[in-house]
Structures are given as structure tokens and as C-alpha cells.
Amino acid sequence: MSAMTGATWAIEQHGAQGPDQLGKVWIAQPLPVGDDRLVFSGHVGNAGNGVTVSIRHGADILAIGIANPGFVIDVPARQGVYHIEMPVRQEQGRDVVCRWEVVDQERQDMALVGMVQRGVPAPGAAMGGAQALLGRMGQLFLIGDTNDSVGQFTRSGTLSEASASEWTNIFSKMPEWQDRFGLEKVMLMVAPAKEEVLRDYYPFRRALNTTFDNFRKRFSDQPLLFPIWELWNRRHLTYGATDTHWTDYGATIAGQTLLKRWDLSGDALPQEFAVKQKIGDLGSKLTPPTSNFELVFREKLAERLVFDNGINNHGNIRVYRNASAPIAGKLLIFGDSFGTNLTEALSYGFQEVVYAYQPAGVDTNLVQLVKPTHLLLQITQRFVHGAPATDRSIFESGRKKLASMTEQERDQAKARLQAAPAEFQPFVTPLFA
């Protein structure tokens, strides 16, 4: 295998745009020529009489050319990061327009397999259990988790017969639930794993026929939504560099995809976002913790949150209300941690959204209490190889969490919940039965 065969590139866009500057700049993926050369090409919208283009690798300027308006420059092939530079403003020096990272995939795979076998996480990560794995361009990924995220991505496989049987049972019940509870729509949404969307930043190569691929093939004719391409099209903004989860922006894209599938308008979902620095669930695993900037909801949603039982994760129930939302129906979501900001995104569209933390596990008693018009089952991709907790009582999960508290904590929780408005007491009473 030559040094460039099977190489992988990643890009990050930089630079200001405007009529008095470069305008729109297109940079094509570099192409290998033989074993020892790379060809960079592109086009500058506002090239004027020509714009100087420099290709830098480390401290070395490998080549200089002119965009007038297009350019083609070939340079020696090296592993590492190439910088394409040109003056954003004529009076300034060079500025990085974009970066390409070139990696020998075979050598990278071999090195990382050795790291995983030795249990080596990202620099600064604690040893043992779920850890953060450093990918390309500073992206962190999950490794060492009980669901074997790396193995699910890199190994071919099929869904176990036990799991396939459980999922078949769930899909077969959907028409029954729709008829029994008078639902307008019901859907299963699988939240894509970060490595699925940012696979060219992930240090491992994807297997051709993973267990999840087998899941999708088995149930391709069912009400199943996997918003991979919608997220892919905006992928640099939809997942945080230091988190396994989609950002608020990514959750909104997933919510828009759901509404489109249900023939509902997604126009009310947010179009503008704020930028916030966040550590993330992977960044928190490093010492010192690592943060990044990501897109978050601009609006404070606390006023919409009219009920929260305060249970952490499994067993949690929240109710959001938004009188100005255009969809008069009531949405009930049985989801996991990806469902938290997905619920908030969908609260822009539905006048009421109820979120129950039980990944794709329908509790029919809760459905009867809520009386939704729409039902969404949401689960993360790495959980699909198992089976959701269908027909498990979410209140039983809550009772177990309360039982694990100290007596003082439990008394405080009971007092707080019993002070909730009367309309929410049906969500409270079963916790203390």
C-alpha cells in the first residue's frame, strides 16, 4: 500500500467573505498523483487580477500559485496537515482559508488498534471505563463504553435473534398503539452516533455491514427515521467536538426531519442560534477538562418547562408548553439523552411536548395518562443492538431512584413534587406508591 492510497482528508473552513474581499472560495479535495504528489485546486470568486495562493505544510511553504480565478497546484505528498493560504484582504498577509489533514489510514488503524488493546485513551483521560478517544482535528469520540462503540463501528455483524425479535414486536405494536390511543402518528427515531456523521474524523475505518446496517435492512419498511444525511449536510455544526451528543442545532435538524416525515411544518423550529462554550461529556473525561464552542438555543426555555419530576436520567418526566407553537397536538417522547434537546427543539413546533427518559421504551400507562396525538420513540444508535424496555413502568424507574436517595433527599423531593399543580399529580402519586 502506498503512502497515499486510502488516505483520508478533513477540512475546516476559515476566512471572512465580502464583495471587497475574496468572495466565495471553493477548495476541492486534494487528489493523489502517483505515490508522491498531491494536487490542490480551487476557485476564488473575487480574484480580481489574481490572488496569491500558498500551500504550507508545517513551517514549509511547498508551493505558491495564482488564482485567476481558478488554480491548480501540485505539491509533495506528506502525512499531516496542509494549509491553503491566501490574503483575505490585499493589505494583509496570508490567512488560512482551509486545512486538509492527510492520514495513512492503514498505519493509523494499526496504531489505534494497539492503543485500544492497551486501553490507551486520549491524552489527559482517566484510565478504565468509558473514555475519550482523540480523533482528527481535535474531535473527541467515545471508547471503552459497555456498548463497545468502536466494535459496533468497525466490525461486520448482524442483530442477535433475541434483539431482532424484540424490535419486530415493537414495530408490530405500533399500529395497535395508534388505534388504541388515537394517535395521528407514531415513529421510531435513531439518533446517529457521532462517528457515523463525522466518520472522516474518526480514527477507525467503518465496516461495510455493521450490526446497525443489518437493523436498518431488516426494518427498512417500518416507521423508522435515521436522519443521517440531514445531519451530514451540516455536520460541522451538528455535533460538539467534546461531546457524544448532537448540539441544539443538530437536535433542531433532527426535529425538522421528523416533522417533514409527518407532513407537518418545521418552519417554527429555531433558525437562529447562539454560540456557547461547553465542556461536553467527553471533554469532562480529560484532565484538565476540554471545551469547545457550539450552537445552542438563543431562547431561554425555562418558562416552557411547566413540570419536571427531578429524577436524573431513567425515570425522568418533563412537560413543555408553548401556546404560540403552530401544532395544536401533544407529542409524547420516550427517549434517551439525545432526546433532551430534541424535546426542546420540538417544543417550538408542538404546543405541548412530554418527555420520558426511557429509550424507545413505551410505557402504555403513561401514554394513557398523557393522551398524546403523536408518539415518538427515540434511541441512540449504539443502543440498538439491545432491546428497549417496552412495557416497563417509568414510575418504577423513578421509585428506584428515589429509594437510592438519603432520607433527607427523598423527603425534599417528595415535598417538592407534592407541591406541583394538581394537573401533574398523576405523574407524582405513582412515585410514592
- CA proximity to 280, closest of 132, 394, 79: 132
Secondary structure element (H or E) that encloses residue 280, with its range: helix 280-283
Handedness of CA 312, 278, 276, 226 (dihedral sign): negative
> What is the per-residue DSSP string for 102-159?
EB-HHHHHHHHHHHHHHT--STTBPSSSSEEEE-GGG-EEEES-TT-HHHHHHS----
Non-local (6+) Cβ contacts of 332 within 8 A are 353, 354, 356, 366, 367, 370, 372, 374, 375, 376
Domain ranges of the chain: 11-103, 161-276+299-432
- CA proximity to 351, closest of 322, 384, 312, 393: 322
| pLDDT, position 219 | 96
| Amino acid identity for residue 315 in this structure | G
Q: Does domain 11-103 have CATH number 2.60.40.10?
A: yes
| pLDDT, position 152 | 94
| pLDDT, position 31 | 79
β-pair type (51-57, 80-86): antiparallel
CA 13 vs CA 141, 391, 425: distances in Å = 21, 47, 51
pLDDT tens digits, the chain, 433 residues: what are they?
A: 233 334 444 333 333 333 347 777 778 777 777 778 888 888 888 888 888 899 998 889 999 999 988 899 999 988 777 888 887 654 455 666 677 766 655 545 555 555 544 444 555 555 557 899 888 878 899 998 999 999 999 999 999 999 999 999 999 999 999 999 999 999 999 999 999 999 888 888 899 899 999 999 999 999 999 999 999 988 889 999 999 999 999 999 999 999 999 999 999 999 999 999 999 999 999 888 999 999 999 998 999 999 999 999 999 999 999 999 999 999 999 999 999 999 999 999 999 999 999 999 999 999 999 999 999 999 999 999 998 888 899 999 999 999 999 999 999 999 999 999 999 999 999 998 7
| Amino acid identity for residue 52 in this structure | T
The CB density around residue 419, as the number of other CB atoms within 10 Å, is 8
pTM for the predicted model, two decimal places: 0.75
- What CA–CA distance (Å, rounded) separates 278 from 293? 6
| pLDDT, position 123 | 54
Burial of 239 (0-12, 13-18, 19+ CB in 10 A): buried
